Homo-oligomer: A and B are copies of this chain.
């Protein structure tokens, strides 16, 4: 059951000029479900991506990196669910290449202009013949209005499709940003695979888009965690088609760059938080903010230590204000010279711990009240400096175990 999340409404997903989306039911793993998505991108668009840090990067991720590095202009994305094509060695690379060749033939571009993405079970061969056989169907459905169906086509254990869209004024020109995401477990950004795709009709020079993409990811998809596992297939891609009628952003000094980055970040945060809200077995949406850290790295260390602690997560599931577990996780985060006596802890507005121990005014009923909420903010101050970071996560429930124990059946 997702936490405060509802399916996107087609009417609220603005088409992005230069982007068309079509899907197929290719029976990659199961019959009668959308499991292949084709995204056609207008010539002249800029495309950039960030990918998993997992050393077992899937075959499609390896091809994405190579094709982006080739720099000849990306014209299509192809995404399949049902099989991750990871841990598949050389045959896996071959299957991903075959996919790109087939897409290129359909759309009349080069294979190196196609980015492939896969999500599903690891270490099983990709049924590439069925994928390729589904491509004409996907092509026949290509249309700018198909964002909602696209969000549906990339779902795996997701209970709801995830999409977000906004329109902003950029240098006086109306500009659209629309994106989709999927992922429910193995999120840090993570497995069952986190995928995120955002398109804008703003124009951004190819040289500038990778930096923008990294900044957006670091403020959104790279700040969510469900179970601490990082997928072999995680990918986040930003496409800038340049079809909004305004001149392309070509310099770091163009004031539109900050405006656009902020707007794309807002859409990315919505998509990333939707993944957490729909996290496997999630019953709570937890925001963990770490303040007064010596630097952003240690703020993140503490945030993730708390977000990953199974004991903290089960306490959230139980609505049990067993909040000493949060202090223990902070102490366990690997900051060798942390002075526990300076640590403060709040749960929403309730001051739980002061100077490393329970606040004298803290009452369990106050903690209990906040723990019962569906959305909870944990704030931890380390008393070491000026840096702060925010991480979003969920609780750990029976349903999480059920889903992951039954995933392949």
Tell me the A residues contacting B by CB distance below 8 Å: 53-57, 84, 86-92, 121-124, 185-186, 191, 227-232, 308-311, 314-315, 317-318, 320, 322-325, 327-332, 335-336, 338-341, 343, 353, 355-358, 396-398, 400-402, 404-409
Chain B residues lying within 8 Å of A308, measured Cβ to Cβ, are 228
A81 CB to nearest chain B CB (Å): 15
Known A-B contacts A232-B331, A402-B398, A405-B320; A87 and B356 likewise in contact (beta carbons under 8 Å)? yes
- The distance from the CB of A285 to the nearest CB of chain B, in whole angstroms, is 18
Show 25 A/B contacts (Cβ-Cβ < 8 Å), sorted by A.
A54-B331, A56-B340, A57-B340, A87-B353, A91-B357, A121-B322, A122-B327, A186-B328, A227-B309, A228-B308, A228-B310, A229-B310, A229-B311, A230-B332, A232-B331, A314-B401, A315-B404, A315-B405, A318-B406, A320-B405, A320-B407, A320-B408, A396-B401, A398-B398, A398-B402
Assuming A228-B309, A229-B328, what are 13 further A-B pairs, CB within 8 angstroms?
Answer: A54-B331, A55-B338, A56-B328, A86-B328, A87-B356, A87-B358, A89-B341, A89-B357, A92-B357, A191-B311, A227-B309, A229-B310, A314-B401
Nearest Cβ in chain B — how far from A352, in angstroms? 8
A387 to chain B, nearest CB (A): 18
A270 to chain B, nearest CB (A): 26
> With A84-B324, A121-B324, A405-B314 in contact, is A54–B358 under 8 Å at CB?
no
In the A-B complex, the 6 residue pairs with the smallest Cβ-Cβ separation, listed nearest first, are: A122-B324, A89-B357, A56-B331, A123-B324, A318-B405, A314-B404
* Partner among B357, B398, B406 whose Cβ is within 8 Å of the Cβ of A123: B357
Residue from B123, B228, B310, B398 in contact with A323 in the complex, judged by beta carbons closer than 8 Å: B123
Closest CB-CB distance, A368 to chain B, in whole Å?
A: 11
Q: Are A331 and B401 neighbours in the complex by a CB distance under 8 Å?
A: no
Contact A122–B232 (Cβ < 8 Å): no
Question: What B residues does A88 contact at CB under 8 A?
Answer: 357-358
Smallest Cβ-Cβ distance to A230: which chain B residue? B332
CB-CB nearest in chain B for A321: B408
Write out the residue numbers on chain B whose beta carbons fall within 8 Å of the beta carbon of A339: 55
Q: Could you say which residues of chain B place their CB within 8 Å of the CB of A353?
A: 87, 123
Most chain B beta carbons < 10 A, residue from A56, A57, A308, A322 = A56
Distance from A406 Cβ to chain B, minimum over Cβ atoms (Å): 7
